[in-house]
Structure 1
């Protein structure tokens, strides 16, 4: 008979002390859901009854936007080993904490919803010797910054830091650890390290609130290849089984669709519906961008591609800057149909 134990006390550690060198600004303070990334993550953490919440951060942070009850569970710590990456933040948090185990999260996980936590804790009950539980996503990729760690690891963490070994992988690979398959929901583990990734995450998030997701293909000038990119994307998306609607924003007065026109090309590429939107189509008092978005939500399709130089809804892809080889996958990410890394 396998031995079990009671559920250990579980705290939350948010690692927010990184230098954010690739982002070029503090990731914890990035605007997200009418607040910032760190505060939003703490608000989301209410999905699980953590015994405490420790923020490893090396600069001032005042959790004034948190409900009072949640705020009382939060306290801040600064690295004792500055400049040592996530392991330095982990050491400071484990040193100050009192829980038996911690869910350790990087601050730049905007889509993490805490749904995996109960199953991770269940493993601890059935395998009492574990000191770490590591999720794995696509291609068996470890997610050590969304994992459970025992406070018993504090001496080992300090030893690694003193020896100059800062890789978290070296820590958990040397102790009893379990690996949990999370390949069915990899979007939870998407992190944002660059301005481009941040914009992509915002676009995906915007589409999650829409009945029909939308992506605008744009370019600075006429003749830069918007229609060519759109029709190629429609053809490939259709081949993959998606129903795509196409909206063309134009500055011309719309009369009727012509053979060989952009809408005709889109229809021949497989679009299930095509629309032209000219200045005369926009109701008084409504911006063209808002009208196109409203029009997109009336389409009976899996997703809508908008072609526009300046009036398309967010998110937008500039086809002159995009990688044509990944354009379709980028569209599927922004519409929520694909969870590949940003």
Structure 2
């Protein structure tokens, strides 16, 4: 007699009960894509037919921004073990939930699109004894707050909490678990913990809607190293196979091409096109930032670097605050060509 397998029920748990101490403000309410971070994540969750959606938030949440059908599937859960971090939120949600397994996500994942979910479910069906499936991204980094967990872990979670062991890693390392390589889409797991990370996420998202992505290299004053940083970045980016255009924002009314100038240095570094933008170049009544952005979108290049003290399009990198060794990787993240800042 053929055994009929019971359909696997999969729910979603969003952990939004953190204190956001490093961010300095409530991450759930951060503006994101015409709404806020939490609402956008819930809207994105429609990409997979979860049986239920549980929101661990520990404070009132107004779901009026959500489609009515989606809002009816979202249920708020309050921690039974307050101030115990993600493990406390998971305990409350698993105790309240009814599904076999749950995809557990932190609220601060601005790019997570749920594309990995079917693959995680397929792996679980092939290895039904698993109790956790943990994605791994660049440099072998575990992503336990974008992972799959069995509801059977509830007793173990409760035991950990009662013993004061709040490390999520200690939980999944002691149970049957699988680790999946997600290096090829590490950006999905980029999380917003600090104001700097929030700005980086906004910059990358803005560039995703542009025909040619743009990054502005800035500095508080002349002589702070903008051109040196730009030339070094162009050289390295060109070496990696990217075609880079360069736009110099200038205060000079008349600019002449000359050896050793900033534009000459950019050209010699490998820029495929070089533009100088001064006050006489943009029409009266047009903001310089808008003109530079329009000019950047006309360049036949993979990306555009703008050098400017204050008139460059967003996103911007202050070269006096940036890590020289990570500048090119940060540029590639902001332009969407690299999956992680790291």
After TM superposition, is the score higher than 0.5? yes
Unaligned segments of structure 2, at least 5 residues:
none
Change (3 A) 1:286 1:311: same
The whole-number CA distance in structure 1 between the counterparts of 2:112 and 2:4 is 28
Contact kept? 2:249, 2:306, Cα under 8 Å:
yes
1:44 — aligned with what? 44
1:69 — aligned with what? 69
1:202 — aligned with what? 202
2:330 — aligned with what? 330
Contact kept? 2:144, 2:168, Cα under 8 Å:
yes
The whole-number CA distance in structure 1 between the counterparts of 2:325 and 2:134 is 33
Normalising by structure 1, we get a TM-score of 0.96
The SS at the match of 1:245 is: strand
Q: Which is worse superposed, 226-235 or 277-286? A: 277-286
Normalising by structure 2, we get a TM-score of 0.96
1:318 — aligned with what? 318
Q: What root-mean-square deviation, in Å, do the aligned CA atoms of Structure 1 and Structure 2 show?
A: 1.4
Contact kept? 2:87, 2:168, Cα under 8 Å:
yes
2:16 — aligned with what? 16
Contact kept? 2:330, 2:341, Cα under 8 Å:
no
* Structure 1 residue 200 displacement after superposition: 0.8
Q: Deviations over 1:252-290 (max 9, x none)?
A: 113432222111111011100000111121124421111
> How is 1:210-289 mapped onto 2 (pairs within 5 angstroms)?
210-289=210-289
2:187 — aligned with what? 187
1:302 aligns with 2:324: no
The whole-number CA distance in structure 2 between the counterparts of 1:21 and 1:7 is 41
Change (3 A) 1:122 1:86: same
Contact kept? 2:41, 2:110, Cα under 8 Å:
yes
* Structure 1 residue 127 displacement after superposition: 1.5
Change (3 A) 1:225 1:180: same
Contact kept? 1:56, 1:76, Cα under 8 Å:
yes
1:90 — aligned with what? 90
The whole-number CA distance in structure 2 between the counterparts of 1:66 and 1:129 is 36
2:107 — aligned with what? 107
Contact kept? 1:5, 1:126, Cα under 8 Å:
no
Change (3 A) 1:112 1:265: same
